């Protein structure tokens, strides 16, 4: 046995082996990004060369899903690697318990420098989850697209400019100023393309001569679905005014400044001029059209999707800036680059412009990962993955053990291009941020849970004792609910069993029944 002199042992204890094998991690994240607006995804309607570069030099995940497709629950699930009931963030109003276990704090303890810049959105500011944080503040944590306010441990500050550009500037500044002897975890989390979508002045003028393809299901009649599904408040046709960038013209506002909408009030004179130059002619045309019925829906879709894609153009450009920084500074080879979004988005499918549902467009998230030496360039990964898998994946990458309490699974076994036989065959979904008639929740949404495997999907509307069932191979657009309550064998019964087993596995119980809303008291005459 080799005996080391005590001085060497002490030295080794004081300076643990430099973890040269610990890769840097760049986590690029957006808010509400639909897969069909990323160039490398099948059926894409636009170009995103920089996001595509991540996939081209790494992998595109075609079956990446959420555990709960809404903003705050998704962010909490990623940080904790757990389903919503276990991390406490079941809905957008849930208070964040920052003392609970989160993967960034563990990376920090293991020698990483950790930083979060951009949209945090949880109810409760960060404390020590990240060593450095600068988050968008105001508007319930949504922040502003223009001249946004940031909050950091040092206090609030307002920065002139456009949110996507500023978040990138801050991310690059942090990379520049970091301790270059340590590995880093940098989460750059963008606000785009969340509603109310205002593109940067650079991209506002695009697409006037373009008509984007309309989803086949825009005019879904909901014939086979549960009746309350059609009753939710997220129809694209209901969008109007500010959220479509329809507002009074520069001339009108010059005469009556009191009509200036809040989003224009937040802009500098130059930014407002850019907005009027881009949108006043469009709005003039719109007012002359006086559209009704399906024509009005088609028009609204075009206004909506064009602003959506313009916001993505700004995102893609800024992703390119960060990738170029990595190249220039010799960091591309030893940095894992991940691009994802807090959920997907229904961009007109079923007539909606929202998320929340277990339907594919919102249940899925984009996931692109570049990981030199681990992922072969150009990989396409179809295995079922969920956002709770990111925490265990990154811990494992850093050489750390994954605690048993974490629900997700490290993705390393599927990154080589083949899916081992023991990989998960199905995934559980839970959505709690809703209501029932008489106890309306957000968007008049029904609460629901369900299970999806490689082919089938079972949705349980537990407040209504109602079910839906889809064969995604025959009906990928989920137009035909084929739930049959009399079927006691076959796929429906099999998925019902798996639904019960998965709920037991993760400790999920149906939440308490919603209390009816109190009736408004009538005033005495």
C-beta closer to Ca ion: residue 31 or 360: 31
Binding residues for Ca ion restricted to 500-519, rule: CB under 5 A: none
Work out whether 354 is an interface residue with Ca ion (CB under 5 A).
Answer: no
Binding residues for Ca ion restricted to 62-121, rule: CB under 5 A: 71
For tokens 């984009």, the residue is: 366
Q: How far is the CB of 448 from Ca ion (least distance, A)?
A: 18
Choose the stretch contacting Ca ion; rule: CB under 5 A; options: 12-20, 146-154, 307-315, 338-346: 338-346
Work out whether 31 is an interface residue with Ca ion (CB under 5 A).
Answer: yes
* CA atoms of 33 and 198, how far apart (whole Å): 15
In terms of Cα–Cα distance, which of 148, 116, 145, 327 is closest to 245? 145
Choose the stretch contacting Ca ion; rule: CB under 5 A; options: 29-37, 118-126, 178-186, 422-430: 29-37
In terms of Cα–Cα distance, which of 207, 186, 287 is closest to 246? 287
Work out whether 32 is an interface residue with Ca ion (CB under 5 A).
Answer: yes
**Alpha helices (H) in 376-489, listed in sequence order:** 390-397
> Among 342, 354, 426, 468, which residue interacts with Ca ion (rule: CB under 5 A)?
342
In terms of Cα–Cα distance, which of 58, 27, 18, 42 is closest to 377? 58
Choose the stretch contacting Ca ion; rule: CB under 5 A; options: 14-22, 84-92, 335-343, 460-468: 335-343
C-beta closer to Ca ion: residue 448 or 503: 448
C-beta closer to Ca ion: residue 192 or 502: 192
Find out whether the peptide bond into 414 is cis, omega within 30 degrees of 0: no
Q: How far is the CB of 343 from Ca ion (least distance, A)?
A: 5
Cβ-based neighbours of 485, under 8 Å, separated by 6 or more = 467
Binding residues for Ca ion restricted to 44-73, rule: CB under 5 A: 71
Residues 49 and 358: beta-carbon distance below 8 Å = no
Choose the stretch contacting Ca ion; rule: CB under 5 A; options: 31-39, 76-84, 285-293, 402-410: 31-39
Closest residue to Ca ion using C-beta atoms: 71
Q: How far is the CB of 31 from Ca ion (least distance, A)?
A: 4
Choose the stretch contacting Ca ion; rule: CB under 5 A; options: 30-38, 116-124, 200-208, 260-268: 30-38
C-beta closer to Ca ion: residue 32 or 129: 32
What stretches of 362-485 adopt beta strand conformation (E)? Answer: 367-370, 379-381, 385-386, 426-431, 448-453, 456-461, 466-471
* Burial class of 262 by CB neighbour count within 10 A (0 to 12, 13 to 18, 19+): exposed
C-beta closer to Ca ion: residue 23 or 148: 148
* CA atoms of 376 and 240, how far apart (whole Å): 45
Q: Residues touching Ca ion: how many (CB under 5 A)?
A: 4
* CA atoms of 251 and 253, how far apart (whole Å): 5
Interface ranges with Ca ion (CB under 5 A): 31-32, 71, 342
């Amino acid at each position: 046995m080799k005996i080391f002199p005590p001085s060497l042992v002490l030295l080794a204890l004081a300076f643990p082996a430099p973890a040269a094998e610990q890769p840097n991690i760049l986590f690029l994240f957006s808010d509400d990004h639909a897969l069909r607006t990323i160039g490398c995804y099948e059926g894409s309607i636009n170009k995103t060369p920089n996001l595509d570069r991540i996939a081209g030099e790494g992998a595109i995940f075609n079956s990446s899903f959420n555990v709960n497709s809404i903003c705050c629950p998704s962010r909490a699930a990623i940080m904790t690697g757990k389903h919503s009931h276990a991390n406490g963030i079941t809905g957008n109003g849930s208070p964040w318990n920052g003392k609970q276990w989160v993967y960034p704090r563990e990376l920090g303890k293991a020698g990483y420098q950790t930083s979060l810049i951009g949209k945090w959105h949880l109810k409760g500011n960060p404390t020590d989850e990240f060593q450095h944080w600068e988050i968008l503040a105001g508007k319930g944590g949504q922040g502003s697209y223009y001249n946004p306010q940031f909050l950091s441990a040092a206090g609030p500050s307002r920065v002139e400019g456009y949110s996507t550009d500023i978040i990138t500037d801050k991310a690059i500044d942090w990379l520049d100023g970091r301790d270059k002897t340590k590995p880093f975890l940098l989460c750059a989390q963008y606000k785009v393309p969340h509603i109310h979508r205002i593109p940067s002045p650079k991209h506002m003028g695009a697409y006037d001569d373009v008509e984007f393809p309309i989803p086949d299901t825009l005019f879904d009649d909901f014939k086979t679905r549960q009746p309350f599904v059609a009753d939710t408040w997220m129809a694209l046709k209901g969008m109007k005014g500010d959220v479509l960038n329809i507002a009074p013209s520069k001339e009108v506002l010059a005469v009556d400044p009191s009509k200036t909408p809040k989003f224009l009030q937040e802009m500098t004179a130059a930014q407002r001029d850019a907005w009027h130059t881009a949108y006043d002619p469009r709005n003039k045309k719109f007012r002359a059209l006086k559209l009704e019925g399906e024509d009005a829906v088609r028009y609204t879709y075009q206004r909506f999707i064009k602003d959506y894609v313009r916001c993505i153009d700004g995102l893609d450009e800024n992703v390119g800036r960060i990738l170029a920084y990595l190249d220039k500074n010799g960091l591309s080879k030893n940095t894992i680059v991940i691009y994802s979004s807090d959920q997907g988005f229904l961009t007109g499918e079923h007539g909606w412009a929202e998320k929340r549902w277990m339907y594919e467009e919102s249940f899925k998230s984009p996931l692109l990962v570049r990981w030199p030496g681990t992922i072969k360039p150009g990989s396409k990964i179809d295995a079922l993955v969920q956002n709770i898998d990111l925490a265990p994946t990154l811990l494992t990458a850093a050489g750390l053990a994954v605690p048993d309490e974490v629900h997700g699974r490290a993705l390393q076994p599927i990154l080589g291009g083949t899916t081992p036989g023991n990989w998960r065959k199905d995934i559980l979904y839970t959505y709690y941020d809703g209501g029932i008639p008489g106890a309306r929740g957000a968007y008049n949404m029904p609460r629901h849970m369900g299970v999806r495997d490689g082919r089938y999907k079972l949705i349980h509307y537990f407040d209504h004792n109602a079910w839906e069932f889809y064969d995604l191979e025959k009906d990928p657009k989920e137009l035909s609910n084929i739930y049959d309550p009399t079927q006691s064998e076959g796929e429906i019964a099999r998925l019902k069993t798996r639904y019960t087993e998965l709920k037991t596995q993760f400790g999920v119980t149906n939440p308490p029944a919603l209390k009816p809303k109190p009736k408004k008291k009538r005033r005495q005459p």
